[in-house]
Amino acid sequence: MIPPPARSRPRHGSGAGFTYLTVLFIVAILAGGLALTGEVWHTTTLREKEAELLYVGNQYRKAIERYYLNGPRQFPRALADLLKDPRKPVTERYLRQIYPDPITGKSEWGLVKGPDGGIAGVHSLSEEAPLKRANFDRLNLDFVGKAKYSEWTFVYGPAAAPAPGASTTQPGAVSPPVATPPFKPPSR
């Protein structure tokens, strides 16, 4: 009779540990890559929201300016007045819609009161720190070095604006060319 074959014991040598460590190393690399991707995505999203805040805030500033200059020199009493001017018998619009604050996502804005008690400007209610701290265009130079989005105030100041039809250059002086940026609608 032939004896039954001896049972061989499974090997738990270095091969099994090496495979385990390799899988663990790959999982750690994937987790690090996902964390980095998430951080880049968050920063990109915040930069887009900042650009949209600058666009929307300047739209409010321009609408308030047009409202002020297009009638008796007074500021709007509510943001809804920019949608339909209550001072006119016909519908006159300075904004197409009440834009929400891109940073907070809410339609509520901080309001800057004018000398007559109306709305001279708006600002975000977000207390977050902005990514952009410099390199603002000429209209937003006051935002350089601001620590919070709520400090970015989009205000129309009639004292700084020339009277309609008034010249801002000396007689005989050559005015510098003004470069207008291309229109860029806000991304949604």
Q: What is the pLDDT of residues 75-121, one digit of tens each?
A: 999 999 999 999 888 889 999 999 999 999 999 999 999 999 999 99
Sign of CA dihedral 105, 110, 114, 118: positive
pLDDT 10s digits, 153-180: 999 987 654 444 444 444 444 444 444 4
Yes or no: say if 158 and 71 are a contact pair by the CB < 8 Å rule. Answer: no
**pLDDT of amino acid 99:** 95
> What is the residue extent of each domain of the chain?
30-155
